[in-house]
Amino acid sequence: MPKYIVSRCLHGIAGIGLLSLAGCAQTPERTVSPARAPAAEAPQSMPVEETALSPETSLDAPADDAAPALREEAPLRYVVKKGDTLWGIANRYLLEPWQWPEIWYVNDQVRNPHQIFPGDVLTLVMRDGRPAIVREDLSTEYLSPQIREVPLDQAIPTIPLDVIRDFLRSSRVVSAEELARAPYVLGFADPHLIEGAGAEVYVKNMPADPLPSYDAVRIGQKFIDPDSGEMLGWEAVPVAGVDLRRLGKPATALIAHSYRETRAGDRLIEPEPEAFAADFYPRPAPADLAGRIISVFDGVSQIGQYQVVTLSRGSDSGLVPGHVLDIFQAGRTARDPYSGRAEPLPELYAGTIMVFKVDERVSFALVMNAQREIHVLDRVRGLGNGRE
């Protein structure tokens, strides 16, 4: 790890190492993330000015083999910019970005300690022999305890939302039970085989207490757990947004907006919330959790960085948004040159994914890095389970 000195801190405090710097720059009371013990009480806060850090003199701090591994080029001070992601910032500091919660030092000046905003200044310090990232507040002369309230939608996201925006408007997974009770398009007011926005449609099987609006979907592929053979659900491809006009047998509805042509037989299901909750942070999935990639958004055969995949595990297996898993190439074989038989080969680590959306029996994840080719049916496991 690079060696540094502290040039100065206000009131004549100088050259006493990053631990003293943390004492000058932070508020009297600090708490760490839930996995860490509370830090010792810091000295009384005082006015501070920006410090210069130089890689010339040793920083005397005890080593800790259990501490997350920092990159050699990790910045001592970083100003958060618009367009940053939490994963990207973590990747600047750590060899394993999912370890971010291990070094993120909870700051009581921010109501949600895992939210970072453009303009925030992050500083790398040492606390009890371990690296920590603290958030400076240079907007005020005195760093007294206070609560900063900033709209959540201004916080930087954990993953790049631009790369999943199309997916969020795309397919979802519904259960066979949900489909069995769903209303469906019976026909059209005008004698057409297909219709688009502005057309009236007749709907059969409308419940007695209907919703004012529905998503019209077309049923796609069936999702099966490759390991257990269990039915996980059906792909539901969005077709249109439909507004109920009149109850009856059949009911009458209007196609409010259209993504594809609407056909007789398309199902009507409850709309998904328009807002996507992006306020999660990376952390390892349980080590004993294992599943498979069962599909990839856009149907490509080889999967690379920032592509969306569907996993054969969901909330009923303990997955939540932010969970990070390893990917392993599965089903690899080599033909024995003497017997001619296909012999299985060990699975190889292929990359890392982060879950961003969870249903009960499946979940959706973004490939954060890809070291080898990734394919449908490759295995996913909790971190540390199988990687050499």
pLDDT digits (tens, 9 = 90+) for 379-388: 999 986 666 6
Of the pLDDT bands very low, low, confident and very high (cuts 50, 70, 90), residue 156 is confident
Compute the distance between CA of residue 125 and CA of residue 39 in angstroms, rounded to an integer: 13
Residue 15, classified by CB atoms within 10 Å of its CB into exposed (0-12), middle (13-18) or buried (19+), is exposed
18-22, 225-229, 278-282, 312-316: which has the minimum mean pLDDT? 18-22
- Averaged pLDDT for residues 208-216: 93
Q: Give the pLDDT confidence of 279-302 residue by residue, as tens digits.
A: 788 889 998 999 999 998 866 667
Higher pLDDT, 274 or 254: 254
* For range 88-106, the mean pLDDT: 84
Mean pLDDT, the chain, as a whole number?
Answer: 77
Taking residues 211-234, report their average pLDDT: 93
Residue 259, both tokens: 């993504």
Structure tokens at 245: 């006009």
**Beta pairing class for 267-269 and 213-224:** antiparallel
Rounded alpha-carbon distances, angstroms, from residue 272 to 217, 222, 229, 239 = 12, 20, 28, 14
Residue 23: its pLDDT value, please?
37
Q: Is 250 helix (H, G, I), strand (E, B) or coil?
A: coil
pLDDT at 98: 85
